[in-house]
């Protein structure tokens, strides 16, 4: 039996997605001059939202994990590379904010668990 709230698992998976996204963004930046390189992205939150809108519960989505996909909407340069540094910097900043949000939510959830345990004594 887990003492953590059911949403803690979701928070951990969101943190994992943000961590993976940071690695993917770093890979995009590292390959900005590689001919034919296609920009990659992590699509976890979008998938999660779609499934929740379809009426699925968090328990049903417990197996859902972040996925790395090729960004088909990114415009490629003449050499076939589709990495745009301005877009990567923006994505990196947005991802940092998401990571901070997710970690703050998880800290709050863990404080609630800690408070509940201490008040039981």
pLDDT 10s digits, 30-61: 999 999 999 999 999 999 999 999 999 888 88
> Which comes out higher in pLDDT, residue 110 or 91?
91
pLDDT (tens digit per residue) in 71-99: 999 999 999 999 999 999 999 999 999 99
Q: Identify whether the C-beta of residue 103 lies closer than 8 Å to the C-beta of residue 96.
A: no
If you average pLDDT over residues 87-116, what whole number do you get? 93
pLDDT higher than 90, residue 20: yes
In a domain, 82, yes or no: yes
Output the furthest CA–CA distance in the chain (Å, rounded): 67
In a domain, 41, yes or no: yes
In a domain, 29, yes or no: yes
> Which comes out higher in pLDDT, residue 117 or 38?
38
In a domain, 112, yes or no: yes
What pLDDT does 109 receive?
A: 86
pLDDT higher than 60, residue 4: no
Q: Give this prediction's pTM.
A: 0.85
In a domain, 12, yes or no: yes
Domain membership of residue 63 as a residue range? 6-119
In a domain, 1, yes or no: no
Number of folded domains that form the chain: 1
- Read off the pLDDT band of 1 (50, 70, 90): very low
In a domain, 114, yes or no: yes
């Amino acid at each position: 039996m887990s003492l953590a709230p059911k949403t803690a698992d979701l928070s951990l998976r969101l943190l994992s997605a943000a961590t993976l996204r940071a690695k993917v963004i770093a890979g995009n930046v590292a390959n900005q001059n590689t001919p034919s390189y296609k920009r990659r992205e992590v699509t976890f939150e979008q998938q999660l939202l779609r499934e929740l809108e379809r009426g699925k519960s968090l328990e049903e989505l417990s197996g859902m994990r972040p996925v790395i996909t090729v960004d088909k909407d990114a415009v490629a340069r003449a050499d076939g590379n589709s990495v745009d540094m301005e877009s990567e910097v923006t994505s990196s900043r947005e991802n940092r904010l998401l990571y901070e949000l997710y970690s703050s939510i998880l800290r709050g959830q863990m404080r609630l668990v800690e408070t509940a345990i201490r008040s039981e004594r």
